[in-house]
Structure 1
Amino acid sequence: MTATLARAEQQRPRRLNDVKGWFPSLDQVLFASLLGRQERLGERGDLLEMGAYLGKSAIFTATFLRPDERFTVCDLFDAPAPDQHNAAEARKSYATLTRVAFEQNYLAFHDELPEVVQGPTSVLADELDPDTCRFVHVDASHLYEHVAGDIETAQRVLVPGGVVVLDDFRSEHTPGVAAATWEAVFNRGLRPICLSTQKLYGTWDDPEPVQEELLAEAHSRGDMKISIQEIGGQRVLRFGGRPENPPHPASRFADEPGREAARESAMVPGPRAGSPAAPAAAKTPRRRSRARRLAVDLLPPVATRALRRLK
């Protein structure tokens, strides 16, 4: 193996925490709780992430995607920004972000890419139909006008009972996000479910059933700080602490034995009581040869997708 190939393989993420980004364990727990609840209740709908950076939260979210659902990820990546203010923000905060880096990270954990929309999140107004998504994560621009538009898009595409997650709603360097978030709460009918250190979780429906389940889970875990606030007559849960990470999707580059089996089962629930067992003839994932694995890793994304279809 050449030194270049060896370095390339060493750089591939072997676990989720190897992917750079801001997605602490507290939010991983809340994502898993909310997405897992939707699956348990049979709530249907697509997943949407506005702003992906290098893919850490998208990789995690995708483990809850069902076969008949769509996962859309929208980001500028290395495309030109739509205005000078957005361009300045991208140069300052996301200078190292490229679509190739995102796709390589994502494909280390999942066999297929999500539907990637490379451009400003404003284009989603024409890309997505109303009432199609059950979970929307907003983590793109920090500029008020853009965030307000992203929240409007989230409200339009969410199904009844759907959840929106707004990142950086309280950071000192993102006052535009705070302004758009609380405007949505007081003027657009957004009802907060809970707050974490950096994200607000909300719905345009009744948050109480979700809140009760989150409270019960937090109490049973014992590793989360809990407080109950009231904002504008609405109950809001506030969670803190550094809880233990929920199960992570496993990378195909992990060194541990049995990593492929872990990758299949890490976040996928087993059969529930009374549900039919998996068919006995279900296929076992084939182990890739080393050469094929390196080719998938190093080829451009378009060629990578073509190679995957030949499996």
Structure 2
Amino acid sequence: MTAPTTDGSAGPLPRPTRFSDVKGWFFTADQLLFDWFLAHQRDRSVPGDLLELGAYLGKSAIFMGARLRAGERFTVCDLFDSPAGDAPNSREMQKSYATLTRRAFEANYLAFHDELPAIVQGPSSAVREHVADGTVRFAHIDASHLYEHVHGDILAARELLTGSGVVVLDDYRAEHCPGVAAATWQAVATEGLRPLCITGTKFYGTWGDPEPYRTALLGWLTGRAGIWHEVQSVHGAPLIRLSAKGAAEPAHPVSRHPAAAEPQSPSVPRQRTPQSAAARPAPRPRRGPLRRAALNVLPPVVTKAIVAARHRSRSAPR
């Protein structure tokens, strides 16, 4: 697969051989939580599809796609290289995602999966034309960082989610996108969004009953190595805060293009190179018994004089 290069010509796209080869911001704590929420829903046969608004180069989409159940639909909505439609959003896209193309996303996704998700190329506001209300069990929102757009995405997610669906909001506390924080906490304060947990980069919430998720998540976290957590009270309800700097990442999707094994060069026994006589250091002269005795008993001043005289005699021309 090829994509336009920076000079407008077509060039081959690199094929990721490992999940870590895909560029993006998807840290261990959020990988663990995505894995936990999706497994929790799977184990309890929670119905619904998956949705991602804002895909960048596909890192989180690849991860979610690996946890898609048979018969479910995964929809990814992103502008990719389409015009944003309004000047502020265009400026943000150019600043943050200038290298994003649909071809790059597709190449990355197909390196790990046989089929692409349903792709909606356009603004996130168009997603409700392609996804039916009440059909999504897990939605990840990482599209525009502008308040007006994020607020609209949250309201759209409220309609698209099932009664027990979970929404994940990226960059809810990053200083470079305060609009996301404003829209997130506004939804908590005035629009019925109930917080479940937070990491350093993502907020997890639901419009359904949060207690079953909270209870099960706390049970999973208790005693788990490498994950720190605490419970705070926000807007009159518990909120789990966690980090996973010491935890192992969950299982990653396996690339369909494994890295080629490096050829092993035959081991050759190392031979010692004989050292020429000229290169060998001259042996130090051994001290005779009388000299050793003199150095031990004579005063230091006399000893230094003897050593100096011997040194002059050695260095004199012959």
Q: Which interval holds the TM-score relative to the shorter structure?
A: 0.7 to 0.9
Instruction: Choose from 174, 179, 183 the match for 1:180.
Output: 183
CA deviation profile, 1:92-136 (whole Å, cap 9, x unmatched):
000000000000000000000000000000111222211000000
Residue 222 of structure 1 is matched in structure 2 by 225
Residue 290 of structure 2 is matched in structure 1 by none
Residue 197 of structure 1 is matched in structure 2 by 200
Which has the bigger relative contact order, CA under 8 A and spacing at least 6?
1
Give 3-state SS (helix, strand or coil) of 2:220's partner.
helix
* 2:78/2:124 contact within 8 Å kept: yes
Task: State the Cα RMSD in Å.
Answer: 1.4
Q: Does 1:41 align with 2:27?
A: no
After the TM superposition, which residues 1-311 of structure 1 pair with which residues of structure 2 at under 5 Å, given as runs?
A: 8=12, 11-242=14-245, 243-255=247-259
Give 3-state SS (helix, strand or coil) of 2:223's partner.
helix
**Larger helix proportion of the pair:** 1
CA offset at residue 8 of structure 1? 4.7
Residue 302 of structure 2 is matched in structure 1 by none
Q: With structure 2 as the length reference, what TM-score do the two structures score?
A: 0.77
Identity of aligned residues (%): 54
Structure 1 unmatched runs, 5+: 1-6, 258-311
Question: How many Å separate the matches in 2 of 1:137 and 1:58?
Answer: 9
CA offset at residue 220 of structure 1? 3.4
Q: With structure 1 as the length reference, what TM-score do the two structures score?
A: 0.78
Question: How many Å separate the matches in 2 of 1:170 and 1:137?
Answer: 16
CA deviation profile, 1:66-112 (whole Å, cap 9, x unmatched):
12111000000000011000000000000000000000000000000
Question: How many Å separate the matches in 2 of 1:218 and 1:20?
Answer: 28
CA offset at residue 215 of structure 1? 1.5
CA offset at residue 38 of structure 1? 0.3
Question: How many Å separate the matches in 2 of 1:36 and 1:183?
Answer: 29
Question: How many Å separate the matches in 2 of 1:110 and 1:174?
Answer: 32
Give 3-state SS (helix, strand or coil) of 2:209's partner.
coil
Question: How many Å separate the matches in 2 of 1:82 and 1:35?
Answer: 34
Q: Which amino acid aligns with 2:53?
A: M
Give 3-state SS (helix, strand or coil) of 2:66's partner.
helix
Residue 285 of structure 2 is matched in structure 1 by none
Q: Which amino acid aligns with 2:130?
A: E
Q: Which amino acid aligns with 2:73?
A: R
Aligned length in residues: 250
Q: Which amino acid aligns with 1:34?
A: F
Question: How many Å separate the matches in 2 of 1:204 and 1:76?
Answer: 27
Question: How many Å separate the matches in 2 of 1:91 and 1:225?
Answer: 37
Q: Which amino acid aligns with 1:247?
A: A
Question: How many Å separate the matches in 2 of 1:69 and 1:159?
Answer: 14
